[in-house]
Amino acid sequence: MKGLKIVFAALLVFVLASFRLAPNPKEDLGIKFFHGTFEQAKQLAKEENKLIFMDAYASWCGPCKMMARGTFKKEAVGTFFNENFINLKIDMEKGEGPQLSRKFGVSAYPTLIFINSKGEEVAKTLGYHSKSALLELGELVVSSRK
């Protein structure tokens, strides 16, 4: 009986661990952010003939967290932004963030900045954006390029 309990407990741990380790397909539908430096993002934008979409955020910012958990995870937002932009998410208080914050005049969070491959600002907006507002903004920026 004791051996059966141990086997059952081990099986239960394995099953629970499997659920926790399994990827969440919903998380794969949103914006895919580039993991590299700003200079690398500029180079990739040049190679792919795309603009950079930069989420300038701070780790303590509530609206930034809401967008990261909500707006950026939406399938429609991910599909549009992944197709049209090199997406970059930078904490403005760490690493190269303070330098970029000065360069682009970031004064509040979140600041959403669209940048060309030369590193020049094309458009900028402040604050929380819903799915529809962010899509509308992205479409406006893309259409102004044509």
State the catalytic residues. Answer: 61, 64
How far CA 59 is from CA of 15, 36, 67, 77, 114, in Å, comes to 34, 18, 12, 22, 21
DSSP β-bridge partners for residue 88: 34, 54
What residues contact residue 141 under an 8 Å CB cut-off, 6+ apart? Answer: 51, 114, 122, 123
First to last CA, the chain: 73
Residue 114, number of CB atoms within 10 A of its CB: 21
Residue of 66, 75, 74 whose CA lies nearest to 128? 66
**Token couple for 44:** 């990739």
